[in-house]
Structure 1
Amino acid sequence: MDIDCLSFRKTGYFSNLICDYIEGKNEVEVLYNQFPKLENFKAQIKEKESFPVAHRKVLVKALKNQYKNVKTSSLTSEHIDSLENERTFTVVTGHQLNLFTGPLYFLYKIVSAINLANKLKEEYPDYNFVPVYWMATEDHDFEEINYFNFQGKKIQWNKEASGAVGHLSTKGLEEVFEIFSLGVGGSKNATHLKELFAKAYLEHETLTEATRFLANELFKVQGLVIVDGDDKNLKELLLPYMKKDIFEQVSFHDISNRIEEIQKINSDYPIQVNPREINYFYLIDGIRERIIEQDGNYFVNDTQLSFSKEELIKELEEYPERFSPNVVARPLYQEVILPNLCYIGGGGELAYWLELQSSFESMDIPFPILLLRNSALVITGKQKEKLKKLNVSYDDVFLKQHSLINKKIREISNIDIDFSPQKELLEEQFKGMYNLAEKTDKSFLGAVKAQEVKQKKGLDNLEKRLLKAQKRKLEDHVMRLTDIQNELFPNQSLQERQLNFSELYLEYGEALLPMLFKSLNPLDLSFVILTKN
């Protein structure tokens, strides 16, 4: 594979906050602890050495219970055992339980985590580093995860659902399998994909079990450890922090203040999530609803359930598994139960993590290094040839479609469609008219300005009409430009946010994952373009 790189900023698909962060801009340094450089992990290890041994024992016991019916690799088993060792640390990424992994970047997240763990082992051989995938089993937004895109079509699991998605039965996925089977074909690679889908979703009872099987099958050789936070024993470790959030509103106050700081740094930075006074849901019997405090009593939204403060404390202590962290509280939960050094996520995830550091300080929990996951555009041999024939560079292909078409039409047109020289000449002529108005009657300055604006606008309109005419004349070229960009950017979005891994697997087969492991450097902090050589 040929490997080319592009800055994240130049792609046009990442926010200024994330671009400023990965470029190490001074103004955002207050939002994090350590910058994601290999040498900075030494200090992070030192800080995380305070992780309680008792938490390690609970973690290992919980993981062994979660893996009791999973056939995994010896390396994954070794990694689980090693977590009891005080010199073992984790590198974590997380993802929803999207059907058949959902968008392609599911793979990129986990590849980033595994590659970083391996790099850390090379740099710090006296320690152990375990790549972890955190399953978001407690999320309740079924519409976000009940489909995947395949060959331009949405393959969807239609059913009534409520509560945590991880609890959902896999019944009904036979229909999804049939639709996928008809579309995927009968090649060797297609057969493997169908077997993988069938074993994951037709031979497991819940979406949690199916997703664990699928992720394990894809990454067990590399020793990936899969964590399900929907676990009573693990949530018992979170109990003191739940109480601080619910009864003292520590997270709400700290994060609200941090959001104000972010807006002062740059008012254009996006605020990804806003904290609530209570950042926990109540989770029971198909229900996952917010807990709301009113006049000293606590209510579960959209239900008849309510608690006094004393009753809620008792419920927390007896049934911690019934309390589910929201998007603000989940990062803290992760860092409480894992000896973690680094969280790897997408731009949106890192944007909300950058709101959280002060709340971690208040809870006395070390804040992890934040690393933007690898992003990639995979270009097949045929697509590479099309780009070459159209003389489209990799920089060009990331342009918005109208900009790409306008640029290429201007380049290949046999007439000059750029009216910049005429506009410059017009400006020179109007300078004389401004001077004349100054010397005679200054009240005419407004009229001169209006006339200049009118004539420039007229030139703009002529330029647009000429460009439009050339597009019609070169319609075949425009169509080919549009077709290749739509192939590489489905729905005018990044490939990794739209395609399912199965489409690349049909093309590359068993070579796909080794290709990604070899090509993606988690600490490079560049957008990667992979093409067949």
Structure 2
Amino acid sequence: MKLVEFHWPSGQKLTDDYVQESGRAMDLFDYHPWDGKSWEQRADWLDQRENHRISRSRLAEVLLDYNHKVGNSEKAIEHIRALRNPETLVVIGGQQAELFTGSLYVIHKAITILQLAKQAEEKLGRPVIPVFWIAGEDHDIDEVDHIHVLSAQQKVEKIKLATPHGWRSSVSRMKIGAAEWNDALQWLQGSLPDTELKAGLLSTLRSISCRSETMTDFFAGILSALFADYGLVMMDSDDPAVRKLEGPVFARMVTEYRSLNESFLESTRKVEELGYRPQVEVYENGANLFLFEQQERKLLFGSPKGFQDKKAQLHYSESEILRMAEEAPEKLSNNVLTRPLMQEFLFPVLFTVLGPGEIAYWSQTVAAFHKLDMKSPIIMPRMGYTLLEGPIQKQMNKYGFSFEDVIYRFDEKKQAWLDQQDDLRLEERFAEIKQKFEEIYRPLLKELGAVQPGLDRLGSANILKIQEQIDFLKNRSIGAYQQKFEAAVRQMDRVRLSILPLGKPQERVYNVFAYLNKYGDEWLHELISKPLEVNGNHRIVYL
């Protein structure tokens, strides 16, 4: 397997500047990610703050219970036990629980976490464990209940899990029955070509689904199986046992919500002053917490009497919310801005691994970290990959496409290739015919106008009709000629659909099982074991 580095901007200006070490973006964060001293500085700071976090032993007990439940490996269990050691640090990244692990970038994020944990442990000479934070508290089911596959008919098709219509509670609280799992697995089975690996993959997925009550369980079970050799620790943010640990932190966020929100606004203003567009809207009266009420997850806002939902239909006093934090913390949930703060209270985070949008919104949280007497962790961009299959590589070579051509100028390159095949020179010859026709016909029209007024106008209309007929024949001729190259066009289109489906990077559309079914998991292990610099650049993987 060969890897080639490729600079592919994300389109998120702040993130692209951060990855390229632009001074403006760096001013928004506490650490420089590639400064050789940052790793040691962050580790030393975490050591000094040991007593300001939630108890390691209590957190370890919760993680042990959850990872046993989802069938994680003994290696992951060892990592959790190591968390009790005050020397142990964490590399963490997260994602919503998605069907069959969702798009490839979820796998790429896990690979980045594992790579960084291994590198940090070697460099710092102390235990560093990899943790995957599953955002089970998120409630947007439409984002996570499907995957996309490339069909044999060269169409990007959707495989969808049947879910309750209008669900507004967390994904981790939505029960999935055996019939729904079976339907999704049947769809996946039908979408995957027959290979010697297919039966084993489907058997593994069926086994995991049998012990999975929710999408989060299924997601965690698959990731645990894929990365069993490396001990990727799973954590569900909506686990009631985790919520119980977080209760005191929720109470503090409630009592200090005004100053915290002002901190978010302060960071947001700084983002704007440096010329960037904020990723997240910060409301003037935002509490930046959710409340589960009547099977819905409702965003809280400050009000004269305490708190209310966005539509001001539900009202709560501060004492009521504080009582929830103490007695029923599972009723509370972080939003996108307070989640980073909660993570810092739970884990001794050396690195947090983020995607382009996440890096942008974390820039809006730094002042809030400082308000709580904390520093934001070292932010590392997740690695991005495009998997280039052997047949795709051959077709690119055959038609003279570079990776950059496919990304930025595919249509022009395809048309240029087709034009080169046109040994009849149809465009050129039909243009010559139209030109010669006008040269012969125009002088005659002038003479006809002298014979009878109006004949020259009639002749001009006649010219347009004849030209239309010439163009009609030209287009039919070119279409018929290009049919000779239909197979070539399909192959070229297959290249684009492989690399840039739906106009998006491959890693944001396709699912990992299409590749595991064809190539096994050796490429996955190689991406984890091969030493790679986590520098924010994209990598092309030649399978």
Fold similarity call, TM over 0.5? yes
Map 1:74-473 onto structure 2 (within 5 A): 74-125=74-125, 127-151=126-150, 152-160=156-164, 161-171=167-177, 172-247=180-255, 248-266=257-275, 269-276=276-283, 277-283=286-292, 286-300=295-309, 305-405=314-414
Map 1:49-68 onto structure 2 (within 5 A): 49=47, 50-52=49-51, 55-68=55-68
Contact 1:201 1:207 in 2 (8 A): no
> Following TM superposition, by how much is the alpha carbon of 1:185 offset from its aligned partner in structure 2, in angstroms?
4.3
In the aligned structure 1, how far is the partner of 2:55 from the partner of 2:347?
8
- Kindly provide the amino acid, as one letter, of the partner of residue 4 in structure 1: V
In the aligned structure 1, how far is the partner of 2:30 from the partner of 2:21?
12
- 1:41 aligned to which of 39, 42, 45: 39
- 1:19 aligned to which of 10, 16, 19: 16
In the aligned structure 2, how far is the partner of 1:471 from the partner of 1:496?
37
In the aligned structure 2, how far is the partner of 1:18 from the partner of 1:108?
17
Distance 1:78 1:142, change over 3 A: same
In the aligned structure 2, how far is the partner of 1:405 from the partner of 1:94?
39
In the aligned structure 2, how far is the partner of 1:117 from the partner of 1:338?
14
Contact 2:19 2:535 in 1 (8 A): no
Instruction: Report the TM-score, using the length of structure 2 for normalisation.
Output: 0.81
> Following TM superposition, by how much is the alpha carbon of 1:249 offset from its aligned partner in structure 2, in angstroms?
2.0
Identity of aligned residues (%): 23
Where 1:174 maps in the other structure, the secondary structure is: helix
Instruction: Report the TM-score, using the length of structure 1 for normalisation.
Output: 0.82
In the aligned structure 2, how far is the partner of 1:522 from the partner of 1:140?
35
In the aligned structure 2, how far is the partner of 1:180 from the partner of 1:162?
26
Distance 1:469 1:334, change over 3 A: farther
Matched, 1:486 2:485: no
Aligned to 1:30: 27
In the aligned structure 2, how far is the partner of 1:138 from the partner of 1:174?
25
Aligned to 1:73: 73
Number of matched pairs: 475
> Following TM superposition, by how much is the alpha carbon of 1:383 offset from its aligned partner in structure 2, in angstroms?
0.7
Contact 1:216 1:224 in 2 (8 A): yes
* Deviates further, 298-307 or 137-146: 298-307
- Kindly provide the amino acid, as one letter, of the partner of residue 508 in structure 2: R
> Following TM superposition, by how much is the alpha carbon of 1:412 offset from its aligned partner in structure 2, in angstroms?
8.5
Where 1:221 maps in the other structure, the secondary structure is: helix
Distance 1:275 1:55, change over 3 A: farther
Matched, 1:498 2:509: yes
> Following TM superposition, by how much is the alpha carbon of 1:522 offset from its aligned partner in structure 2, in angstroms?
4.9
In the aligned structure 2, how far is the partner of 1:402 from the partner of 1:358?
46
> Following TM superposition, by how much is the alpha carbon of 1:117 offset from its aligned partner in structure 2, in angstroms?
0.6
Distance 1:411 1:18, change over 3 A: farther
Matched, 1:508 2:519: yes
In the aligned structure 2, how far is the partner of 1:370 from the partner of 1:45?
14
- Kindly provide the amino acid, as one letter, of the partner of residue 173 in structure 2: H
- Kindly provide the amino acid, as one letter, of the partner of residue 297 in structure 1: G
In the aligned structure 2, how far is the partner of 1:312 from the partner of 1:393?
58
Q: Structure 2: which 5+ residue stretches go unaligned?
A: 151-155, 428-474
Where 1:86 maps in the other structure, the secondary structure is: coil
Where 2:97 maps in the other structure, the secondary structure is: coil
In the aligned structure 1, how far is the partner of 2:11 from the partner of 2:313?
43
Alpha-carbon RMSD: 2.7
- Kindly provide the amino acid, as one letter, of the partner of residue 308 in structure 2: F
Distance 1:205 1:483, change over 3 A: closer
> Following TM superposition, by how much is the alpha carbon of 1:410 offset from its aligned partner in structure 2, in angstroms?
8.5
In the aligned structure 2, how far is the partner of 1:469 from the partner of 1:38?
62
Distance 1:195 1:480, change over 3 A: closer
In the aligned structure 1, how far is the partner of 2:117 from the partner of 2:252?
33
In the aligned structure 2, how far is the partner of 1:8 from the partner of 1:331?
27
- Kindly provide the amino acid, as one letter, of the partner of residue 524 in structure 1: N
Where 2:521 maps in the other structure, the secondary structure is: helix
In the aligned structure 1, how far is the partner of 2:331 from the partner of 2:98?
23
For each residue in 1:440-490, what CA deviation from the matched residue of structure 2 results, as whole angstroms up to 9, or x when unmatched? xxxxxxxxxxxxxxxxxxxxxxxxxxxx99997778466654342122211
Where 1:312 maps in the other structure, the secondary structure is: helix
In the aligned structure 2, how far is the partner of 1:380 from the partner of 1:26?
38
In the aligned structure 2, how far is the partner of 1:377 from the partner of 1:123?
29
Larger Rg: 2
> Following TM superposition, by how much is the alpha carbon of 1:27 offset from its aligned partner in structure 2, in angstroms?
1.4
Contact 1:374 1:522 in 2 (8 A): no
Distance 1:493 1:315, change over 3 A: same
> Following TM superposition, by how much is the alpha carbon of 1:390 offset from its aligned partner in structure 2, in angstroms?
1.0
For each residue in 1:474-508, what CA deviation from the matched residue of structure 2 results, as whole angstroms up to 9, or x when unmatched? 78466654342122211111001111001111221
Where 2:300 maps in the other structure, the secondary structure is: strand
* Deviates further, 366-375 or 201-210: 201-210
Aligned to 1:521: 532
> Following TM superposition, by how much is the alpha carbon of 1:207 offset from its aligned partner in structure 2, in angstroms?
2.3
Distance 1:506 1:305, change over 3 A: same
Distance 1:166 1:202, change over 3 A: same
Contact 1:174 1:202 in 2 (8 A): no
Distance 1:58 1:410, change over 3 A: farther
> Following TM superposition, by how much is the alpha carbon of 1:57 offset from its aligned partner in structure 2, in angstroms?
1.9
In the aligned structure 2, how far is the partner of 1:470 from the partner of 1:516?
50
Contact 2:57 2:84 in 1 (8 A): yes
> Following TM superposition, by how much is the alpha carbon of 1:228 offset from its aligned partner in structure 2, in angstroms?
1.7
> Following TM superposition, by how much is the alpha carbon of 1:201 offset from its aligned partner in structure 2, in angstroms?
2.0
- Kindly provide the amino acid, as one letter, of the partner of residue 345 in structure 2: V
> Following TM superposition, by how much is the alpha carbon of 1:3 offset from its aligned partner in structure 2, in angstroms?
1.3
Distance 1:246 1:204, change over 3 A: same
Where 2:114 maps in the other structure, the secondary structure is: helix
Aligned to 1:441: none
In the aligned structure 2, how far is the partner of 1:342 from the partner of 1:192?
35
Distance 1:55 1:393, change over 3 A: same
- Kindly provide the amino acid, as one letter, of the partner of residue 378 in structure 1: L
Where 2:33 maps in the other structure, the secondary structure is: coil
